[in-house]
Amino acid sequence: MNEAVIEARDITKQYKNLTALDHVDITVRRGEIYGLIGDNGAGKSTFLKIVAGQIFPTGGYLRLFGNEDEKAVQKSRSRMGALVENAGFFPKMSVEKNLEYYRIQRGIPGKETVESVLRTVNLLEKRRVKCEKLSMGMKQRFGLALALLGEPELLMLDEPINGLDPSGIIEMRELLLKLNQEKRITILLSSHILSELEQIATMYGFLSRGVVLEEISAQALREKCAGCIDLRLTEPEKYAAVLEKELPGTAYQVLQDQTIRITNPGQESARYGRLAYEHGIGVQGLDERHMSLEDYYVNIKNRGKL
């Protein structure tokens, strides 16, 4: 099994009467692209700030690259690059000079480092442009370049595609995949644009109100979301009882509009319709569909039965 790059156990963060993180357990393993999913205020940025050392947890412990001792954890942070919330820059200075300033401040050797990261994020042609003149997409790429200074083994990004246009989103996606696959960089990123995250993540963690609802691999999630059947019925409660008796172990949800959703069905759709007919329950509609990542998140957030 791959080494745990981040291992958070029982992490809690309390602000007076607000619990931002509530006994959070999260493990990110080497080589993963880990997608941290949650609504605004779910605790995503708080968790990333704790890992980055920008704030401290109220309770629990954090291991980075296998190190748990406070001094060793702090030293391990030199092996990671982080962009949490917005990248800081001097607006009147050029992209290149901003990066050179941060390179020197962090004690990163080699003047060629700045040119290298600018080339990596496709900003080399904008090296002499003042940061205040950058578009939203370019600012996001500048922030990524800042995080890549020092050739990190672990990259943490908070909403890296937020505010980007469609072409900017595609560019960012391809760049993150390249960093992961070619440079072997482990990536932890938060996002609420789930349709995009679905295309690159290999592991997911679902956060809601500071609580981890589930950690699941992309492969396991694909199997769970392989398909579902929605049956709109005259008597959904009666059908649920029949389903549990005749086809025990079937995973289902009772939705609004007198609909029952059968998740990851083990039978042909006609079998579920026939079951209703055999027990005198009218079928007003039957739809086969695949569950999206958004559907899955909403279901577990609402504590739906999967």
Residue for token pair 């406070």 = 70
Please give the pLDDT value at position 306. 39
CA distance 119 to 217: 32
Alpha helices in 59-198 (DSSP H): 70-76, 95-105, 112-120, 136-148, 166-182, 194-197
Strand-pair partners of 7? 27, 63
Please give the pLDDT value at position 303. 65
225 CB neighbour count, 10 Å cutoff = 18
Write the pLDDT tens digit of every residue in 233-260: 999 999 999 999 999 989 898 988 899 9
- What domains appear along the chain, each with residue ranges and CATH number? 4-222 (3.40.50.300), 227-289 (3.30.70.100)
pTM, rounded to two decimals: 0.80
CA distance 55 to 84: 12
Please give the pLDDT value at position 1. 53
Write the pLDDT tens digit of every residue in 41-98: 899 999 999 999 999 999 999 999 999 999 999 999 999 999 987 778 899 999 999 9
User: In this structure, what token pair is assigned to residue 55?
Assistant: 């704030």
Q: Which of 204, 83, 99, 87 is nearest to 155 (CA)?
A: 83
Please give the pLDDT value at position 48. 96
The separation between CA 23 and the C-alpha centre of its own chain, rounded to angstroms, equals 19
Please give the pLDDT value at position 304. 43
* pLDDT by residue, tens only, the chain of 306 residues: 579 999 999 999 999 889 999 999 999 999 999 999 998 889 999 999 999 999 999 999 999 999 999 999 999 999 999 998 777 889 999 999 999 999 999 899 888 999 999 999 999 999 999 999 998 888 989 999 999 998 999 999 998 888 788 888 888 999 999 999 999 999 999 987 888 888 899 999 999 999 999 999 998 888 777 778 899 999 999 999 999 999 998 989 898 889 999 977 878 888 999 999 999 999 999 988 777 888 888 888 886 443
Please give the pLDDT value at position 226. 72
Please give the pLDDT value at position 193. 80
Residue 282: half-sphere exposure toward Cβ, Cα within 13 Å:
3
Please give the pLDDT value at position 157. 95
Q: Decide: helix, strand or coil at residue 219.
A: helix
Q: How big is the chain, counted in residues?
A: 306
